């Protein structure tokens, strides 16, 4: 009986030691969401993108059937004190690093929505990488207020 208890405790110790490991491979995205948007209007998608590899990479684009155009953008405060949107060629993703796409910073812009995006809707968005294979995500549409977003990222969004 004591041997069984020691064996079980040793097994639990080994498993708990593994719990600190990331467990991820390749490139993964999490905490993804998008703002609501009106048909023919714009929306933006946000997320964390994590590179678990030993090689630098970059997000070089994105695509989705819900918009006429999908672009990588950065919102930042201009010299005149107004929020400005700057299109980006790519988002660098360092080896073993991550990038946060969030309101008021880096984000994926959905331009010319082909349908209304309402809170509770979902749509498909594919991230394209410089070195890694594409990553397709099902993005939920959420209220920016629920996600801690300011609602002010330079895109005249609701």
| 70 occurs within a structural domain | yes
> Which of 130, 119, 148 shows the shortest CA–CA distance to 46?
148
Q: Which two tokens stand for residue 19?
A: 């719990």
Residue 110 lies in a domain: yes
Number of domains in the chain: 1
pTM for the whole structure: 0.78
Residue 135: give its domain's CATH number: 2.60.40.1890
Residue 5 lies in a domain: no
102 domain-assigned:
yes
Q: Is 129 contained in some domain?
A: yes
Q: What is the pLDDT along the chain (158 residues), one digit of tens a residue?
A: 555 444 444 444 333 333 333 457 899 999 999 999 999 999 999 999 999 999 999 999 999 999 999 999 999 988 998 989 999 999 999 999 999 999 999 999 999 999 999 999 999 999 999 999 999 999 999 998 776 654 444 444 43
Q: Is residue 158 part of a domain?
A: no
The H-assigned helical ranges of the chain are 2-18
Q: Which domain holds residue 73?
A: 31-141
């Amino acid at each position: 009986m004591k041997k069984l208890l020691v064996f079980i405790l040793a097994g639990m110790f080994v498993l708990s030691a593994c719990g600190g490991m990331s467990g991820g491979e390749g490139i993964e995205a999490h905490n993804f969401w998008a703002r609501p948007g009106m048909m023919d209007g714009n929306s933006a998608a946000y997320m964390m993108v994590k590179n678990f590899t030993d090689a630098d990479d970059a997000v070089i684009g994105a695509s989705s059937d819900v918009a006429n155009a999908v672009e990588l953008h950065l919102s930042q405060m201009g010299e005149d004190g107004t929020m400005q949107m700057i299109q980006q060629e790519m988002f660098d993703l360092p080896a073993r690093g991550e990038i946060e796409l969030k309101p008021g910073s880096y984000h994926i812009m959905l331009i010319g929505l082909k349908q209304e995006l309402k809170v509770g809707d979902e749509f498909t968005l594919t991230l394209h990488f410089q070195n890694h294979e594409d990553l397709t995500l099902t993005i939920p549409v959420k209220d920016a207020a629920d996600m801690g977003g300011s609602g002010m990222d330079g895109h005249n969004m609701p």
